[in-house]
A and B are shown apart, each in its own frame.
Chain A
Amino acid sequence: MPDAGRFSEVGEQGSRAVIEAAAVLEHELAAGRTDATAADDRPTGGHRLDPEEFGRLVQQVSEHTHQLIDAVAARLADNTAAAAAAHTRRLTANAHDALDLLLKLTTLTTESPDPAGRPGAGHRQEHGPLPEHGPQPRPGQHPDGPEGHQE
Chain B
Amino acid sequence: MTAAAPPLTDRAQLVERVLARYGERTVAALLRHIPEQSPPYLYELAADYPARPGKGLRAALCLAACAAVGGRPERALNPAVTAELFHNAFLIHDDIQDGSELRRGTPTLPAAYGVEVALNVAHATHLLGHQRLMANRRELGDELAWRLFEETELMCRQTLEGQALEIAWIRDNACALVSADYYRMCLKKTSWYTFLYPCRSGLLVAEGAASDAARLDRFGWYLGAAYQIQDDVLNLVGSQADYGKEIAGDLWEGKRTLILIHLLERCTPAERARAERYLRGTRAQRGPDAAEDVRWLLDRMTAYGCVESAREAAAGLVAAAERELARVLAAAPPPAGLSEEGAEAQEFLLALPGFVVSRGR
A106, chain B: closest CB distance, angstroms: 32
Among the stretches A21-29, A48-56, A78-86, A136-144, the one at the interface with B is A21-29
Which secondary structure dominates chain B's binding surface? helix
Known: A2-B303, A24-B187. A29 touches B316 (CB 8 A): no
Q: How far is the CA of A3 from the CA of B303 in the complex (A)?
A: 9
Q: How far is the CA of A55 from the CA of B304 in the complex (A)?
A: 71
Counting CB contacts under 8 A, is A37 at the interface? no
| Contact call A10/B180, Cβ cutoff below 8 A | no
| Contact call A22/B154, Cβ cutoff below 8 A | no
| Contact call B187/A18, Cβ cutoff below 8 A | no
B331, chain A: closest CB distance, angstroms: 20
Q: Which of A9-27 contact B (CB under 8 A)?
A: 10-11, 13-18, 20-25, 27
A55, chain B: closest CB distance, angstroms: 37
Q: How far is the CA of A17 from the CA of B221 in the complex (A)?
A: 12
| Contact call A14/B266, Cβ cutoff below 8 A | no
Counting CB contacts under 8 A, is B358 at the interface? no
Counting CB contacts under 8 A, is B179 at the interface? yes
Known: A28-B184, A28-B188, A32-B154. A14 touches B315 (CB 8 A): yes
| Contact call A7/B305, Cβ cutoff below 8 A | yes
Known: A24-B180, A24-B184, A28-B188. A1 touches B305 (CB 8 A): yes
B1, chain A: closest CB distance, angstroms: 21
Q: How far is the CA of A87 from the CA of B337 in the complex (A)?
A: 85
Q: How far is the CA of A20 from the CA of B229 in the complex (A)?
A: 14
Counting CB contacts under 8 A, is B319 at the interface? yes
Which of A3, A11, A24 lies in contact with B312, CB distance below 8 A?
A: A11
| Contact call B316/A13, Cβ cutoff below 8 A | yes
| Contact call A25/B319, Cβ cutoff below 8 A | no
| Contact call A2/B187, Cβ cutoff below 8 A | no
Q: How far is the CA of A7 from the CA of B308 in the complex (A)?
A: 11
Q: How far is the CA of A82 from the CA of B229 in the complex (A)?
A: 96
Most B CB contacts (10 A, CB to CB) among A10, A21, A23, A24 go to: A21
Give B154's nearest chain A residue, CB to CB: A32
Which of A10, A22, A23, A29 lies in contact with B305, CB distance below 8 A?
A: A10
Counting CB contacts under 8 A, is B218 at the interface? yes
A35, chain B: closest CB distance, angstroms: 9
| Contact call A14/B188, Cβ cutoff below 8 A | no
Which of B154, B158, B304 lies in contact with A2, CB distance below 8 A?
A: B304
- Chain A residues in 8 Å Cβ range of B183: 17, 20-21, 24
Known: A24-B180, A24-B183, A25-B221. A17 touches B304 (CB 8 A): no
Counting CB contacts under 8 A, is B91 at the interface? no
Q: How far is the CA of A24 from the CA of B310 in the complex (A)?
A: 18
Counting CB contacts under 8 A, is A6 at the interface? yes
- Chain B residues in 8 Å Cβ range of A24: 180, 183-184, 187
Known: A1-B303, A28-B187, A28-B188. A21 touches B221 (CB 8 A): yes
Q: Which of B269-320 contact A (CB under 8 A)?
A: 303-305, 308-310, 312-317, 319-320
| Contact call A16/B221, Cβ cutoff below 8 A | no
Please name 12 pairs of A and B residues whose Cβ atoms are closer than 8 Å in the assembled complex, sorted by A. Answer: A1-B305, A2-B304, A3-B266, A7-B266, A7-B309, A10-B312, A14-B317, A14-B319, A18-B222, A18-B317, A22-B218, A24-B183
Give me 11 other A-B pairs in contact (C-beta within 8 A), A7-B304, A10-B312, A17-B179 excluded. Answer: A1-B305, A2-B268, A3-B266, A14-B312, A14-B313, A14-B319, A18-B316, A20-B180, A21-B187, A24-B183, A25-B217
B residues contacting A by CB (< 8 A) are 154, 158, 179-180, 183-184, 187-188, 214, 217-218, 221-222, 225, 229, 266, 268, 303-305, 308-310, 312-317, 319-320
